[in-house]
C-alpha cells in the first residue's frame, strides 16, 4: 500500500505568494526524487467547530491561511529514501527555518500508512 506524509500549517496572507513559490519548487524536487504525488491546498471552508476542527488545531489569526498538504510514496521505505535524497538536495539544503514564509513551529506533520486506496 502507498504511504503518505501529511502537513497542517498556517501561512500569513501576505506571504501566500512566497509560500506558493516555495511549494512549487519543493514539489518539483520531491517529484524528481520519486514522490508519486505532491499536493498543497489552502482552506476555503473552516466552518466546522469543536475540538477536532482544523481551525481549533492551528488557531489561525485573522491574517493567516490554513494549508493542508500531503506527499504520496510507494511505501514507507520509499518515503525514507526519497526524503533522504530531498534533504540532501542543494536546492533545499540551503533553506533556513527563519527564511520560510511561515512559522515552522506551528506546523504539524506525520507519516501515514494508507488504509484504503480507491
- Would residue 58 be called left, alpha or beta, if left means φ above 0 and alpha means ψ between -120 and 50 degrees? alpha
Helix, coil or strand: residue 103: coil
86-107 pLDDT tens trace: 999 999 888 887 889 998 888 9
37-42 and 108-113 strand pairing: unpaired
Task: Give the model confidence (pLDDT) of 11-67 as tens digits.
Answer: 999 999 999 999 999 999 999 999 999 999 999 988 887 777 788 788 899 999 999
Distance CA 65, CA 11 (A): 5
Question: Residue 81 — pLDDT band, cuts 50, 70, 90?
Answer: very high
pTM: 0.90
CATH architecture of 3-113: 2-Layer Sandwich (3.30)
Amino acid at each position: 500500500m502507498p504511504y503518505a506524509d501529511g502537513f497542517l500549517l498556517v501561512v500569513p496572507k501576505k506571504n501566500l505568494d512566497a509560500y506558493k513559490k516555495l511549494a512549487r519548487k519543493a514539489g518539483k524536487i520531491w517529484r524528481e526524487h520519486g514522490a508519486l504525488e505532491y499536493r498543497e491546498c489552502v482552506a476555503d471552508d473552516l466552518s466546522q467547530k469543536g475540538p477536532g476542527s482544523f481551525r481549533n488545531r492551528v488557531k489561525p489569526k485573522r491574517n493567516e491561511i490554513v494549508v493542508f498538504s500531503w506527499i504520496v510514496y510507494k511505501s514507507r521505505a520509499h518515503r525514507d529514501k526519497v526524503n533522504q535524497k530531498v534533504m540532501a538536495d542543494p536546492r533545499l539544503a540551503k533553506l533556513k527555518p527563519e527564511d520560510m514564509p511561515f512559522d515552522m513551529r506551528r506546523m504539524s506533520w506525520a507519516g501515514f500508512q494508507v488504509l484504503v486506496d480507491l
